[in-house]
Amino acid sequence: MSGSRTNAAKELCGRLLLDEPMARHSSWRVGGAADRLYIPSDLDDLCNFLKQQGEATPLLWLGLGSNLLVRDGGFRGTVIKLAGVLNELQFEAPNQVTAGAGATCAKVARFTAEHALGGVEFLAGIPGTMGGALAMNAGANGGEIWDWVESAETLDRSGKLRVRRRKELNVSYRHVALPANEWFIRARLSLQPVPAGQAGRRIRELLARRAETQPTGEFSCGSVFRNPPGDYAGRLIERCGLKGARCGAARISEKHANFIINEGSASARDLEDLIMLARERVRSEFNVELDAEVRIVGEKP
């Protein structure tokens, strides 16, 4: 690193971790070390940090580490962790809420319910942050986040902020086409006024149903595969007889076949092998190609 870059880095206010094990930042509790992991102190600090990164430096944006598998060889680049940092929530009368990318989906759901606003109760059961939810158009129980987004603010490598309106972006099932090297940092939601207490009751109902049908309380990433058109990934995997299938200490959940569990000592390789097994068996038996919802990054050892 040159002297000028070293001096610039000293102006940063966030926390920089070197050779940081990603298992500490993953809901699956696996993953090799990232070269660097940066936790900004605020938005200005994040902009400053991005300006100092070379164009060739791979960047990985991280929330709670759900929906992500970092291979055992680690990540050769910089991870930027926003969970708990850009987590502001602001009510704007009469029916709008601004949510930062680092706010958890569950907190957004509770906040909107407290203000008697409905529409995004489904977020209560999504184990991630708003940044990830926006990037992949997260959804559950028939709802998707971009059904309720009026606009979103983004940040690019140069530290430039932009406002992207819903109509500007190509949004589809579990996908949002955002320009390369541009990331979501905030969203404005336009919601529906509902009677006091109604949204809170809906959240409790959804969480109770989730506890009955999904393996909560275990190390997982949430749903592994997107649902194929007209069907459910979990149903197809179950029809292949793969509930309970194992690779090392990784196991396809007996409760819901679209969840893979780390029993405590699984490697990223164990989890990826089970992902490949499920995909290959469904392809072989049903001629259906399952697309992974989980993002797999990093190097194999």
* Residues designated as active site: 174, 223, 293
Contact 102, 129 (CB under 8 A): yes
Looking at the DSSP bridge assignments, the partners of residue 262 are 219, 250
Determine how many CB atoms are found less than 10 A away from the CB of residue 107: 17
Identify which of 272, 116, 142 has the alpha carbon closest to the alpha carbon of residue 200: 116
DSSP class of 181: T
The stretches of 115-217 forming alpha helices (DSSP H) are 130-136, 198-213
Our measurement of the distance from residue 37's CA atom to the centroid of its chain's CA atoms, rounded to an integer in Å, reads 17
Identify which of 136, 135, 97 has the alpha carbon closest to the alpha carbon of residue 118: 97
Helix (H, G, I), strand (E, B) or coil at 95: coil
> Which residues, other chains included, contact 270 with Cβ-Cβ below 8 Å and sequence gap of 6+?
247, 248, 249, 250, 262
Identify which of 288, 219, 220 has the alpha carbon closest to the alpha carbon of residue 258: 220
Query: How far is the C-alpha of 99 from the C-alpha of 92, rounded, in Å?
Result: 11
Helix (H, G, I), strand (E, B) or coil at 290: coil
> Which residues, other chains included, contact 68 with Cβ-Cβ below 8 Å and sequence gap of 6+?
26, 27, 28, 62, 221, 294, 295, 297
> Which residues, other chains included, contact 281 with Cβ-Cβ below 8 Å and sequence gap of 6+?
237, 240, 242
Helix (H, G, I), strand (E, B) or coil at 208: helix
